[in-house]
Amino acid sequence: MQNPRVVVDLVKLKENLDFLSSRIKKNNNISVTAITKSFSAHPEIISVYEKCEGIDYLGDSRIENFIKNLETTKEKVLVRIPMITEIPEVVKYTDVSFNTEIKVIQKLNEEAKKQNKTHKILLMVDLGDLREGIFEEEELYSVVEQVVQLNNIKLVGLGVNLTCYGAVIPTEAILNRLVYYKEKIEARFKVNLTMISGGNSSSIYMLDPDNPENLPKEITNLRIGEAFVLGRETAYGKDYKEMHQDIFTLKTEIVEYKTKPSYPIGEVGVDAFGNKPTFVDKGLMKRGIVGIGQQDVDKMTIHPLDSRLEIVGASSDHLIIDFTKAENDYQVGDEVSFGLDYGSLLNCFTSEYVKKEFI
Protein backbone atom coordinates (compact mmCIF):
# COMPACT_ATOMS: atom_id res chain seq x y z
CA MET A 1 0.00 0.00 0.00
CA GLN A 2 1.30 3.45 -0.88
CA ASN A 3 -1.63 5.80 -0.23
CA PRO A 4 -2.38 8.06 1.45
CA ARG A 5 1.18 9.30 1.87
CA VAL A 6 3.23 12.38 2.65
CA VAL A 7 6.09 12.97 0.25
CA VAL A 8 9.05 14.76 1.85
CA ASP A 9 11.67 16.56 -0.24
CA LEU A 10 14.80 16.20 1.89
CA VAL A 11 16.90 18.37 -0.44
CA LYS A 12 14.55 21.32 -0.03
CA LEU A 13 14.43 20.70 3.72
CA LYS A 14 18.24 20.85 3.96
CA GLU A 15 18.23 24.12 2.03
CA ASN A 16 15.67 25.58 4.45
CA LEU A 17 17.66 24.48 7.48
CA ASP A 18 20.94 25.84 6.14
CA PHE A 19 19.50 29.18 5.07
CA LEU A 20 17.51 30.03 8.19
CA SER A 21 19.97 28.70 10.77
CA SER A 22 22.78 30.68 9.11
CA ARG A 23 20.60 33.79 9.09
CA ILE A 24 19.83 33.41 12.78
CA LYS A 25 23.48 32.76 13.66
CA LYS A 26 24.46 35.91 11.81
CA ASN A 27 22.44 37.88 14.36
CA ASN A 28 24.20 37.84 17.76
CA ASN A 29 25.26 34.22 17.24
CA ILE A 30 21.97 32.95 18.71
CA SER A 31 21.74 29.22 19.36
CA VAL A 32 19.00 27.31 17.58
CA THR A 33 16.70 24.68 19.06
CA ALA A 34 15.03 22.85 16.19
CA ILE A 35 11.54 21.69 17.15
CA THR A 36 10.85 18.27 15.65
CA LYS A 37 7.30 17.45 16.78
CA SER A 38 5.55 18.47 13.53
CA PHE A 39 7.04 15.42 11.82
CA SER A 40 7.04 13.21 14.92
CA ALA A 41 10.86 13.33 14.92
CA HIS A 42 10.93 10.83 12.06
CA PRO A 43 14.47 9.39 11.92
CA GLU A 44 14.82 10.07 8.16
CA ILE A 45 14.20 13.76 8.78
CA ILE A 46 16.20 13.89 12.00
CA SER A 47 19.23 12.69 10.03
CA VAL A 48 19.03 15.92 7.99
CA TYR A 49 18.73 18.04 11.14
CA GLU A 50 21.63 16.17 12.71
CA LYS A 51 23.94 17.19 9.85
CA CYS A 52 23.00 20.87 9.98
CA GLU A 53 25.80 22.73 11.77
CA GLY A 54 23.55 25.69 12.50
CA ILE A 55 21.27 23.64 14.75
CA ASP A 56 22.47 23.29 18.34
CA TYR A 57 19.60 21.49 20.08
CA LEU A 58 16.72 19.21 19.13
CA GLY A 59 13.49 20.09 20.91
CA ASP A 60 10.30 18.10 21.20
CA SER A 61 7.26 17.72 23.43
CA ARG A 62 7.14 13.91 23.42
CA ILE A 63 9.63 11.64 25.17
CA GLU A 64 8.82 8.92 22.62
CA ASN A 65 10.30 11.09 19.89
CA PHE A 66 13.63 11.31 21.70
CA ILE A 67 13.67 7.56 22.24
CA LYS A 68 13.33 7.04 18.46
CA ASN A 69 16.56 8.97 17.92
CA LEU A 70 18.96 7.89 20.64
CA GLU A 71 21.99 8.17 18.36
CA THR A 72 21.70 11.91 17.77
CA THR A 73 24.64 13.93 19.07
CA LYS A 74 22.80 17.21 19.60
CA GLU A 75 21.48 18.05 23.05
CA LYS A 76 17.82 17.18 23.55
CA VAL A 77 15.35 19.68 25.01
CA LEU A 78 11.90 18.76 26.32
CA VAL A 79 9.79 21.81 25.50
CA ARG A 80 6.62 20.63 27.20
CA ILE A 81 6.36 20.83 31.00
CA PRO A 82 7.20 17.34 32.34
CA MET A 83 4.49 15.17 33.82
CA ILE A 84 5.49 13.72 37.18
CA THR A 85 4.76 10.21 35.89
CA GLU A 86 7.36 10.59 33.11
CA ILE A 87 10.18 12.08 35.18
CA PRO A 88 12.43 8.97 35.02
CA GLU A 89 12.27 9.11 31.22
CA VAL A 90 12.81 12.88 31.16
CA VAL A 91 16.05 12.54 33.09
CA LYS A 92 17.17 9.50 31.11
CA TYR A 93 16.45 10.69 27.58
CA THR A 94 16.72 14.51 27.65
CA ASP A 95 19.43 16.96 28.62
CA VAL A 96 17.27 20.02 29.29
CA SER A 97 13.60 20.49 30.20
CA PHE A 98 11.29 23.49 30.47
CA ASN A 99 9.66 23.86 33.87
CA THR A 100 7.27 26.03 35.89
CA GLU A 101 6.40 23.99 39.01
CA ILE A 102 8.81 23.59 41.95
CA LYS A 103 7.22 20.26 42.88
CA VAL A 104 8.11 18.86 39.46
CA ILE A 105 11.63 20.29 39.63
CA GLN A 106 12.18 18.69 43.04
CA LYS A 107 11.09 15.34 41.61
CA LEU A 108 13.50 15.83 38.72
CA ASN A 109 16.26 16.46 41.23
CA GLU A 110 15.45 13.24 43.11
CA GLU A 111 15.46 11.23 39.89
CA ALA A 112 18.65 12.85 38.62
CA LYS A 113 20.35 11.85 41.86
CA LYS A 114 19.19 8.25 41.36
CA GLN A 115 20.60 8.27 37.83
CA ASN A 116 23.80 10.02 38.93
CA LYS A 117 23.15 12.94 36.59
CA THR A 118 22.77 16.69 36.62
CA HIS A 119 19.64 17.70 34.76
CA LYS A 120 19.49 21.18 33.23
CA ILE A 121 16.31 23.26 33.30
CA LEU A 122 14.89 26.49 31.93
CA LEU A 123 12.21 28.26 33.89
CA MET A 124 9.38 29.40 31.64
CA VAL A 125 7.99 32.87 32.26
CA ASP A 126 4.46 33.86 31.19
CA LEU A 127 4.65 37.29 29.57
CA GLY A 128 1.00 37.45 28.54
CA ASP A 129 0.29 34.58 26.13
CA LEU A 130 -1.25 32.70 29.08
CA ARG A 131 -0.02 29.25 28.23
CA GLU A 132 2.81 27.89 30.38
CA GLY A 133 5.03 30.02 32.56
CA ILE A 134 5.45 31.63 35.96
CA PHE A 135 3.30 34.77 35.89
CA GLU A 136 4.11 36.62 39.11
CA GLU A 137 7.58 38.11 39.53
CA GLU A 138 7.92 37.21 43.21
CA GLU A 139 6.89 33.61 42.51
CA LEU A 140 9.68 33.43 39.93
CA TYR A 141 12.25 34.54 42.48
CA SER A 142 10.83 32.13 45.07
CA VAL A 143 11.19 29.21 42.65
CA VAL A 144 14.74 30.23 41.73
CA GLU A 145 15.68 30.46 45.41
CA GLN A 146 14.60 26.85 45.89
CA VAL A 147 16.09 25.57 42.63
CA VAL A 148 19.61 26.85 43.30
CA GLN A 149 19.70 24.71 46.45
CA LEU A 150 19.14 21.47 44.52
CA ASN A 151 22.31 19.45 43.94
CA ASN A 152 21.28 17.60 40.78
CA ILE A 153 19.48 20.41 38.97
CA LYS A 154 21.25 23.18 37.08
CA LEU A 155 19.28 26.30 36.20
CA VAL A 156 20.69 27.36 32.82
CA GLY A 157 18.18 29.93 31.69
CA LEU A 158 14.74 31.40 31.17
CA GLY A 159 12.26 30.99 28.35
CA VAL A 160 9.02 32.43 27.06
CA ASN A 161 6.34 31.08 24.78
CA LEU A 162 4.33 33.44 22.56
CA THR A 163 1.73 33.09 19.76
CA CYS A 164 0.93 29.41 20.47
CA TYR A 165 -2.14 29.96 22.66
CA GLY A 166 -2.94 33.62 23.19
CA ALA A 167 -1.46 34.55 19.77
CA VAL A 168 0.52 37.38 21.41
CA ILE A 169 3.11 38.63 18.93
CA PRO A 170 6.59 39.03 20.41
CA THR A 171 7.95 42.56 20.58
CA GLU A 172 11.12 44.15 21.82
CA ALA A 173 9.29 45.46 24.90
CA ILE A 174 7.90 42.03 25.80
CA LEU A 175 11.24 40.26 25.39
CA ASN A 176 13.02 42.98 27.36
CA ARG A 177 10.91 41.90 30.34
CA LEU A 178 12.55 38.46 30.00
CA VAL A 179 15.93 40.17 29.93
CA TYR A 180 14.95 42.15 33.04
CA TYR A 181 14.17 38.92 34.92
CA LYS A 182 17.48 37.41 33.78
CA GLU A 183 19.46 40.34 35.12
CA LYS A 184 17.57 40.45 38.42
CA ILE A 185 18.05 36.70 38.99
CA GLU A 186 21.75 36.77 38.12
CA ALA A 187 22.39 39.67 40.50
CA ARG A 188 20.26 38.34 43.33
CA PHE A 189 21.27 34.67 43.24
CA LYS A 190 24.80 34.90 41.80
CA VAL A 191 24.04 32.54 38.91
CA ASN A 192 24.89 32.70 35.21
CA LEU A 193 21.90 32.21 32.92
CA THR A 194 23.32 31.37 29.51
CA MET A 195 20.18 30.24 27.66
CA ILE A 196 17.58 32.97 27.31
CA SER A 197 15.07 31.46 24.92
CA GLY A 198 13.11 34.26 23.31
CA GLY A 199 10.34 32.36 21.63
CA ASN A 200 9.69 30.38 18.48
CA SER A 201 9.25 30.99 14.75
CA SER A 202 7.16 34.07 15.54
CA SER A 203 10.26 35.84 16.90
CA ILE A 204 12.40 35.63 13.77
CA TYR A 205 10.65 38.56 12.09
CA MET A 206 12.53 40.71 14.59
CA LEU A 207 15.78 39.75 12.84
CA ASP A 208 14.71 41.48 9.62
CA PRO A 209 16.95 44.54 9.16
CA ASP A 210 14.06 46.75 8.04
CA ASN A 211 11.86 45.85 11.02
CA PRO A 212 11.36 48.47 13.77
CA GLU A 213 11.18 45.70 16.40
CA ASN A 214 14.63 44.37 17.27
CA LEU A 215 15.44 41.16 19.06
CA PRO A 216 17.23 42.15 22.30
CA LYS A 217 20.90 41.19 22.17
CA GLU A 218 20.54 39.34 25.48
CA ILE A 219 18.28 36.73 23.79
CA THR A 220 20.60 33.78 23.20
CA ASN A 221 18.27 31.09 21.86
CA LEU A 222 15.30 30.66 19.54
CA ARG A 223 13.13 27.56 19.10
CA ILE A 224 12.39 27.04 15.42
CA GLY A 225 9.82 24.56 14.17
CA GLU A 226 7.32 25.83 11.60
CA ALA A 227 9.74 28.24 9.93
CA PHE A 228 12.11 25.40 9.03
CA VAL A 229 9.47 23.09 7.58
CA LEU A 230 7.13 25.61 5.93
CA GLY A 231 9.51 28.43 5.06
CA ARG A 232 7.77 31.30 6.84
CA GLU A 233 7.79 33.29 10.03
CA THR A 234 4.67 32.89 12.15
CA ALA A 235 4.04 36.30 13.69
CA TYR A 236 2.54 37.64 10.47
CA GLY A 237 2.71 34.57 8.23
CA LYS A 238 5.28 36.00 5.82
CA ASP A 239 6.90 33.52 3.43
CA TYR A 240 10.63 33.84 2.93
CA LYS A 241 11.47 33.98 -0.78
CA GLU A 242 14.78 32.23 -0.10
CA MET A 243 12.98 29.23 1.45
CA HIS A 244 10.72 26.44 0.24
CA GLN A 245 7.08 26.27 1.27
CA ASP A 246 6.45 22.93 -0.48
CA ILE A 247 8.72 20.45 1.28
CA PHE A 248 5.74 18.29 2.30
CA THR A 249 3.02 17.12 -0.09
CA LEU A 250 0.07 14.94 0.84
CA LYS A 251 -1.00 12.50 -1.86
CA THR A 252 -3.94 10.14 -2.02
CA GLU A 253 -6.10 8.61 -4.75
CA ILE A 254 -9.62 8.81 -6.08
CA VAL A 255 -11.78 5.88 -4.97
CA GLU A 256 -15.10 7.11 -6.39
CA TYR A 257 -15.85 9.53 -9.24
CA LYS A 258 -19.50 10.23 -10.05
CA THR A 259 -21.95 12.95 -10.98
CA LYS A 260 -24.32 13.63 -8.08
CA PRO A 261 -26.46 16.46 -6.70
CA SER A 262 -24.65 19.00 -4.58
CA TYR A 263 -27.42 19.15 -1.97
CA PRO A 264 -28.36 16.15 0.24
CA ILE A 265 -31.77 14.61 -0.34
CA GLY A 266 -33.86 14.39 2.84
CA GLU A 267 -33.91 16.00 6.27
CA VAL A 268 -30.45 17.16 7.39
CA GLY A 269 -29.41 16.18 10.93
CA VAL A 270 -25.91 16.00 12.38
CA ASP A 271 -22.86 14.42 10.79
CA ALA A 272 -20.54 11.74 12.18
CA PHE A 273 -18.84 14.31 14.41
CA GLY A 274 -22.00 15.78 15.90
CA ASN A 275 -22.04 18.90 13.73
CA LYS A 276 -24.96 20.10 11.65
CA PRO A 277 -23.49 20.85 8.20
CA THR A 278 -24.67 23.50 5.79
CA PHE A 279 -24.78 23.04 2.01
CA VAL A 280 -25.03 25.24 -1.07
CA ASP A 281 -27.13 23.91 -3.92
CA LYS A 282 -24.93 24.15 -7.02
CA GLY A 283 -26.91 21.66 -9.05
CA LEU A 284 -25.21 18.55 -10.41
CA MET A 285 -21.57 18.20 -9.46
CA LYS A 286 -18.74 15.87 -10.45
CA ARG A 287 -18.00 14.56 -6.98
CA GLY A 288 -14.90 12.57 -6.23
CA ILE A 289 -14.03 10.74 -3.04
CA VAL A 290 -10.37 10.31 -2.10
CA GLY A 291 -8.95 7.87 0.41
CA ILE A 292 -8.23 9.99 3.45
CA GLY A 293 -10.47 11.48 6.12
CA GLN A 294 -10.83 13.43 9.32
CA GLN A 295 -9.20 10.61 11.30
CA ASP A 296 -5.95 11.46 9.53
CA VAL A 297 -6.14 15.18 8.76
CA ASP A 298 -8.46 18.14 9.27
CA LYS A 299 -10.06 19.06 5.94
CA MET A 300 -9.78 22.74 6.86
CA THR A 301 -5.99 22.63 7.02
CA ILE A 302 -5.16 21.20 3.59
CA HIS A 303 -5.67 22.57 0.09
CA PRO A 304 -5.64 20.85 -3.32
CA LEU A 305 -2.62 21.85 -5.39
CA ASP A 306 -4.90 21.84 -8.42
CA SER A 307 -6.72 25.12 -7.85
CA ARG A 308 -9.71 23.91 -9.89
CA LEU A 309 -10.63 21.45 -7.15
CA GLU A 310 -12.62 22.30 -4.04
CA ILE A 311 -12.99 20.32 -0.84
CA VAL A 312 -16.69 20.15 0.00
CA GLY A 313 -16.71 17.84 3.01
CA ALA A 314 -15.25 14.91 4.88
CA SER A 315 -16.12 11.95 7.05
CA SER A 316 -13.69 9.99 9.19
CA ASP A 317 -12.35 8.00 6.21
CA HIS A 318 -13.35 9.96 3.10
CA LEU A 319 -12.65 13.39 1.69
CA ILE A 320 -15.23 14.66 -0.81
CA ILE A 321 -14.03 16.97 -3.58
CA ASP A 322 -15.79 18.97 -6.28
CA PHE A 323 -14.04 18.08 -9.55
CA THR A 324 -16.55 19.86 -11.79
CA LYS A 325 -14.06 22.38 -13.20
CA ALA A 326 -11.62 19.59 -14.03
CA GLU A 327 -13.92 16.60 -14.56
CA ASN A 328 -12.27 15.38 -17.77
CA ASP A 329 -8.78 15.36 -16.28
CA TYR A 330 -9.34 12.79 -13.53
CA GLN A 331 -10.62 9.26 -13.09
CA VAL A 332 -10.78 6.56 -10.42
CA GLY A 333 -7.26 5.58 -9.32
CA ASP A 334 -5.67 8.95 -10.15
CA GLU A 335 -3.74 10.72 -7.40
CA VAL A 336 -4.67 14.09 -5.95
CA SER A 337 -2.03 16.24 -4.23
CA PHE A 338 -2.52 18.63 -1.31
CA GLY A 339 -0.47 21.30 0.37
CA LEU A 340 -0.20 21.21 4.16
CA ASP A 341 -0.07 23.74 6.95
CA TYR A 342 1.55 23.16 10.34
CA GLY A 343 -1.48 21.48 11.89
CA SER A 344 -2.11 19.12 8.98
CA LEU A 345 1.58 18.22 8.84
CA LEU A 346 1.41 17.30 12.51
CA ASN A 347 -1.76 15.26 11.91
CA CYS A 348 -0.32 13.34 8.98
CA PHE A 349 2.88 12.38 10.76
CA THR A 350 0.97 11.37 13.87
CA SER A 351 -1.37 9.12 11.87
CA GLU A 352 0.02 5.64 11.31
CA TYR A 353 -2.31 5.29 8.33
CA VAL A 354 -0.53 7.99 6.33
CA LYS A 355 2.64 6.57 4.79
CA LYS A 356 5.85 8.57 4.53
CA GLU A 357 7.97 8.81 1.38
CA PHE A 358 11.33 10.58 1.19
CA ILE A 359 12.93 11.98 -1.94
Residues facing 338 on adjacent strands = 250, 304
* Residue 51 is among the residues annotated as catalytic for this protein: no
221 vs 158: CA distance, rounded Å: 10
- 256 SS3 class: strand
Q: Which is catalytic among the residues 14, 25, 37, 356?
A: 37
90 vs 221: CA distance, rounded Å: 21
Instruction: Read off φ and ψ for residue 160, nearest 5 degrees.
Output: -140, 145
Closest C-alpha to 150, from 182, 105, 101 = 105
Are 261 and 290 spatial neighbours (Cβ–Cβ below 8 Å)? no
Residue type, 9: D
Q: What is the 3-state secondary structure (H, E, C) of 217-248?
A: CCCCEEEECHHHHHCECCCCCCECCCCCCCCE
> Which residues are CB-neighbours of 70 under 8 A, at least 6 positions away?
93
Catalytic center residues? 37
